[in-house]
Amino acid sequence: MPAADRPERADAARNRRAILAATEDLLTRYRPEQISMEQVAAAAGVGKGTVFHRFGSRAGLMRELMVERALAMRQDITEGPPPLGPGAPPRERLLAFVDEATAIIVRNRSQMAALEHAESTSQQPVDHEAHPVYAFWHAHVAGLLTASRPGLTDPDAHAHLILAAFQSATLLHDDSPDAPARFAAALRRQITALLTAA
């Protein structure tokens, strides 16, 4: 059986959970740039080599933290109640996606900041569009755009632009209380205008 298809061993799964939990705990007490892989390994009770073997780099570790949260949203999109899940009109589902994605990013700003810092200091190029979470979000948004407005020119490009908004400084770094609501409202208005344009 190919390695990629083998179920994760119990000890490997346990180490993964311990490493992610330790990283989250460290992020509550230190800035991302103050956390080393050695600290993570010590806090998780594993060897440094185990952390590097499982996640590859600090950027890989921070990405995995965000994947954990995005996977929960993916399940809500595919199996949850409307309007985020199936059963609502596509336009309502798209606007619900904007609200939920905004909420997830705001709840996980520290992890987003950690990921941003780790990727900026990484020696390896990062292809966000190749990430499975991004690929799922993009396909979902593009599909809802097409269903909401058949004949829309280049829904794939529009989906990329919508998702790019979630990397904006307004959402990631503006911690004023009304920033998330302002961001979501502005993005909802842009999407509504796109879907109603002649």
- Percent of the chain at pLDDT above 90? 50
> What's the confidence (pLDDT) of residue 128?
52
Is the pLDDT at 120 greater than 70? The verdict is no
- Residue 8: band (very low, low, confident or very high) from pLDDT cuts 50, 70, 90: low
Cβ atoms within 10 Å, residue 33: 13
- CATH number for 109: 1.10.357
Do 30 and 96 lie in one domain? The reply is: no
- Residue 4: band (very low, low, confident or very high) from pLDDT cuts 50, 70, 90: very low
Is the pLDDT at 3 greater than 60? The verdict is no
Question: Distance between CA atoms of 18 and 162, rounded to whole angstroms?
Answer: 34
Question: Which of the two residues, 124 and 43, has the higher pLDDT score?
Answer: 43
Q: Determine the average pLDDT of the residues in 90-115.
A: 86
Do 73 and 42 lie in one domain? The reply is: no
> What's the confidence (pLDDT) of residue 125?
53
Q: Determine the average pLDDT of the residues in 118-130.
A: 59
- CATH number for 43: 1.10.10.60
- Percent of the chain at pLDDT above 70? 84
Cβ atoms within 10 Å, residue 157: 10
Range(s) of the domain holding residue 22: 1-56
Question: Distance between CA atoms of 131 and 106, rounded to whole angstroms?
Answer: 20
Do 47 and 70 lie in one domain? The reply is: no
Do 110 and 16 lie in one domain? The reply is: no
Q: Pick from 56, 71, 95: which residue ends a domain?
A: 56
What's the number of domains the chain is made of? 2
Do 64 and 141 lie in one domain? The reply is: yes
> What's the confidence (pLDDT) of residue 174?
85
> What's the confidence (pLDDT) of residue 5?
46
Residue 44, Cα to own-chain centre: how many angstroms? 23
Nearest to 110 by CA among 193, 38, 175: 175
pLDDT 10s digits, 140-191: 999 999 999 999 999 999 999 999 998 887 788 888 889 999 999 999 999 9
